Structure 1
Amino acid sequence: MKSLELATLVHELHELEIRSCLIEQQGNLILEYYREPEIANELYKINSCTKSVLSALVSIAMDQHIVPHWDTPILEFFPRLTGDNDPQKRDITIEHLLTMSAGFSWTEFGGQNSFPTMSKTSDWVQFVLSQPLSDMPGTKMEYSSGCSQLLATILRHASGQKVAEFAEQQLFQPLGIESYYWETDPQGTHTGGFGLRLKPMDMLKFGRLYLNEGNWKGRQLIQAETVRNATHPYLPAAKPQKAFYGWHWWTSSFLDDTGLDKTAKNTEIAYYYALGFGGQYIVVVPSYEMVVVVTADKFKKKRTPVDIFRQYIVPLLLQQA
C-alpha cells in the first residue's frame, strides 16, 4: 500500500475512533495505528477471537495425539450423555463442536439457551449438554459459546493441564506472548468462547502463525494440514456473520474485479478471520501474504461495529492491484 493510501486509512480510523489497527504484509509491518500510544501495551478483551485461539490449542493437542481424532464422539469425555433421553447426542463429535454443528437448540445472544444464561449457572458444561437438539449433529452451524466451553473442558481433561497452562507451553511462549488474562468458568476451566485478553501485537503474531500455516521461525507449532482443515469453509452461517465457518474460524472472500489481469478478472480472494463482539478482528489473507488486526471499544455508544477490513482495507488492496 502506498503511503497516501495508508494516510487516508489512518484518517478514517481516527474518525471512527478505532482502538487499534495493525497491518502486516509479506512480513513487513506497514501500519501500526493506536488511538492512544498506551494502547500498544494494554491487555484488551478479544471476546470471541478467543474461539480461534482455542481452535489452535485443540489443533496442537490433536497433532500431538493428546486430544483424539476430530471424528471421536464427545461421549468419551462426557459419559453422562449415555443416560440422555436423546440418543443422537452420543453422535456429537469433536469436529461438530469445532464447526458449531453439534445440533443443540441455542440462541447465543439471548433467551433461555444462550451464553448469558449459561454464564449465570453453576455448571456450564452440564447446562450445555442438557440442551435439547434442534438439528442432527453435523448438519447445521448454530453459533454457540457452549460448544467452545465443551472443547475447553475436553482439552483440560485430555492434557491434564489448565487450558492457559497448555496455551503458555504450546503457543504463547513460542510466539513470545508474555502477558495475557483469561477468565474461567465455575469449575476453573478457562473460557473457550470469550474471556481472553491480549495486546494487539500479540494478536498479530497469532495471525502470522496461521498465515505461515502453523510454522513459527522454523518450528512447526501446528501441522500445515491441520491449519488448512481449521480454516476450510465447512458450513454456511447467518449469525453473527453471513459467511462460512471452519474450526472456530470464519471464512469469506472478496471479489477482485479490477480487470488489470485479464485472466484473473472477477477472482474471488479467499480469507479467514477470528471475530470478536464489538469489532475485534484477526484477518488472514493468504494470497496477499497479509494479516490485519483491529480492536474497537466504542461500539456501546449507539454505533454499529464497522468491518474495517471489508469497508476500508479491501478497497485499498484493490487499488493497489
Structure 2
Amino acid sequence: MRVNRRDFLKQISAGTAGLSLMAWLPNPLRASTLKTSGLPRSTPEQQGLSSTAILAFIKAVEEKNLGLHSLMVVRNGQVVAEGWWAPYAPGLKHTLFSLSKSFTSTAIGLAVAEGKCKVSDKVISFFPDDQPAEVSPNLAAMRVKDLLTMTTGHEKDTIPPLLQEKSGGWTRKFLSLPVEREPGTYFLYNTGATYMLSAILQKVTGQTVLDYLTPRLFQPLGIEGADWESSPDGINAGGFGLRIRTEDIAKFGQLYLQKGQWNNKQIIPAAWVEEATKYQVPNAASTTPVHDWNQGYGYQFWRSQHNTYRGDGAMGQYCLVMPEQNTVIAITSETHDMQAILTQVWDILFPNLKPAALPTDKKAQTELKQKLAALTLLPAKISAASPLSATISGKTFRVQDNPLHVETVAFTFAKNACTVELKDTKETHRIVCGLNNWVQGETRVPGNPPAFVAMEKKEPVPKEKIAAFGTWTSPNTFILTWVFNQTPHSETITCNFENNSVRLEFKDSVSAKVPSRKKEQPILVGQMIG
C-alpha cells in the first residue's frame, strides 16, 4: 500500500523558507554501529538466519530504490544485523510519524493498569468544559476503545480541522465535529482520535504522554533523549511527532514480543500487550487483495501478514513483531511504497528464519559486515570540481525579490568542501557541503525539513541536525543536497551558473518520492556583484 493512504497528511511545509543553516566543522559521516548497553549482539547464523538472506534483502531494497535509512534485525533477543545509510547514524533520532501511535496506546494501557481510566469510559466524560451545546447520540456513545481501534464513527480523519486551530482548543474542535456513524462499527484511520488519547492521558495523569512514559517505559528500556511534538495546548500530538533512535524502536518491539517483560520486570501488563496487538476490528473489505493494510487493527497497532503485527509510520517507519519467529525488525526510511518494503521482508527474510542455529558462514558474514559498514545515500561520484568554481568562489550574487526573503548568496570552494552563504533580512546562514562526501551541520529552523504536518513553531527555535554534500553535474551546474537526518527528509538545490548569474531551484524529497504531493518551490535568481 502506498504512502498516500495517509489522508491526514494534508499539509507539507516544504521548508525552504529562511534556510537558517549553521554548519559544524567539516566532519565526514560514515555508516557505523553504536556500541551501547542496549540489546545484545550476535551473528545471524547463531540465531538461525543466514547472512546471505540479509544481504539479499539489503540489495533488493537498494535496487528497488525503497529509501531505507536504517535497519535492525533482532532474533531471539539478539541484534543480528544493523545498518544506517549515511548520513543517518545510530546515535541520531528519527521522526516516527504514525509509529508514534503505538507508544500513545502503550501509555493508555499503563494508565488503565494504574486505574486512571478504562477503555469503556466515554470520551466526553473527560472534557465536560469542551462539549458542544448539543451532544449527539454517537458522540455520547464514543468510548476510549473506539479511539484506540479507529472506530470513532467519523467519516473523515479529524486531524486536518484540528491543525487549522492554530491557537489551540483541539479537544473542543474534535468534539464539535459530526460523528456520522455509530462508534465501534466503522474503521477509519483517524489521527485526531490518537490526539484525543493523548489528551485523555494528560487529563487523568497531569502529564504529557512523553513525561508519563519516561519513567515507566523509556528509562527501563534505556531510551534517552526522546522528544515529541505538541499541540498549541501543550498536549503531545499522540498520533505523530515522536522521535527516537532505531535501536529504541527495536527495544520497543522486543518488549512487546516479550509480553511486556524487560529484565525480568513486567513493564507493560501482559494482558494489555495481548489486547493491543490482537485483531480487534476489520480495517478493509473482505474482497480487498491481500496486503498488510487489510489484516485487521488492534489498539493503534496494525495486524500484518503471517500472524504478525506492527506499529508503522508514513513513508516507512516500522516496528515489525513476529511472535512465532521470535523476531523484531526495525526500519526507518523515506519510501514511495510502504508495502514494497514489507513485501521484501516476507519474500526474503521471513522464509529464512530457521528454528535452530545455522552453520557458520564466515565469508557471508564478512560480506554482510562490509556491506552494512558502507551503506550510504551518497549518489555515485560525478565531479568534485569545475573550471567555473575558481571564477565564482568567494563572489556574491544579489538575489531578485523572492518569497524566501533571501537577499544574497555566495559560494566559496575549498579542496573538499563548498561553503554556501545565504543572507536574508534577519541574518547570514552558512552551509558547509562536502564535495562528494557528507558534512555534518545544524539548522536553527526546525521547519526547514519538508514536513507532512505543518505545526506552528515556538520560540526559541531549537537547532535541527543536517548533513550536506555538493557535486558538479556539468561545468555550469552544481547540485547541493542537505539531509535533515533526524527526519526522513532532504532538499536538493540545483545551482545553474551562466553569464555572471546564478539560478537556484529547490526540490524537496517528499515531492520527489510522492509526486501527488508536489509543492511549488520558489526559484532564486541572482546577479554577481563582487
Instruction: Give the alignment's TM-score, normalised by structure 1.
Output: 0.87
Say whether residues 1:10 and 2:76 are aligned partners: no
Residues in 2 aligned to 1:151 and 1:320: alpha-carbon distance in whole angstroms:
36
Change (3 A) 1:115 1:75: closer
When Rg is computed on C-alpha atoms for both structures, the one with the higher figure is 2
Q: Counterparts of 1:166-205 in structure 2 under 5 Å? A: 166-205=212-251
Q: Distance in 2 between matches of 1:87 and 1:196?
A: 34
CA distance in 2, matches of 1:230, 1:273: 11
Q: What is the CA-CA distance between 1:38 and the residue it aligns to?
A: 4.6
Go from structure 1 to structure 2 and tell me whether the alpha carbon gap of 1:198 and 1:320 turns closer, same or farther (over 3 Å shift): closer
**Count of residue pairs brought into register by the alignment:** 295
Summarize the alignment of residues 21-32 of structure 1 with structure 2, pairs less than 5 Å apart.
21-32=71-82
Q: Given the superposition, is the C-alpha separation of residues 62 and 85 from structure 1 closer, same or farther in structure 2, using an over 3 Å criterion?
A: closer
One-letter amino acid of the structure 1 residue matched with residue 162 of structure 2: M
Confirm or deny: 8 A CA contact 1:45 1:198 kept in the other structure: yes
Task: State how 1:1-321 maps to structure 2 within 5 Å.
Answer: 1-15=49-63, 16=65, 17-36=67-86, 38-66=88-116, 68-79=117-128, 80-81=130-131, 83-106=133-156, 108=157, 114-121=158-165, 122-238=168-284, 241-254=293-306, 270-297=307-334, 299=335, 303-320=336-353
Q: Distance in 2 between matches of 1:143 and 1:305?
A: 16
Bigger drift between 229-238 and 310-319 goes to 310-319
Where structure 2 has 5 or more consecutive residues not aligned to the other structure, the ranges are: 1-48, 286-291, 355-530
> Would the aligned equivalents of 2:50 and 2:352 in 1 still touch at CA under 8 Å?
no
Task: Please identify which structure carries the higher strand content.
Answer: 2
Q: Distance in 2 between matches of 1:281 and 1:19?
A: 11
Partner AA of 1:123 in structure 2: G
Once residues 312 and 209 of structure 1 are traced to their aligned partners in structure 2, the CA distance between those partners, rounded to angstroms, is 21
Q: Is the Cα–Cα contact under 8 Å of residues 301 and 309 in structure 2 kept in the other structure?
A: yes
Structure 1: gaps (5+ residues): 109-113, 255-269
Cα distance, 1:75 vs. partner? 2.3
2-side partners of 1:44 and 1:320: how far apart?
28
Q: 1:314 to 1:221 in 2, by over 3 A?
A: farther
Is the helix fraction higher in 1 or 2?
Answer: 1
Partner deviation per Cα, 1:108-141 (whole Å, 9 max, x = no partner):
3xxxxx4233212132212211111121011111
The 8 Å contact of residues 279 and 307 in structure 1, kept in 2 or not, is answered as no
**TM-score normalised to structure 2 length:** 0.53
| Deviation of the 1:156 alpha carbon | 0.4
Contact kept in structure 2, 1:14 and 1:35, CA below 8 Å: no
The 2-side partners of 1:203 and 1:158 are apart by 27
Percentage of matched positions with identical amino acids: 29
- The one-letter amino acid paired with 1:28 is Q
Contact 1:24-1:291 within 8 A present in 2 as well? yes
Following superposition, which runs of at least 4 residues in structure 1 exceed 6 angstroms of deviation? none
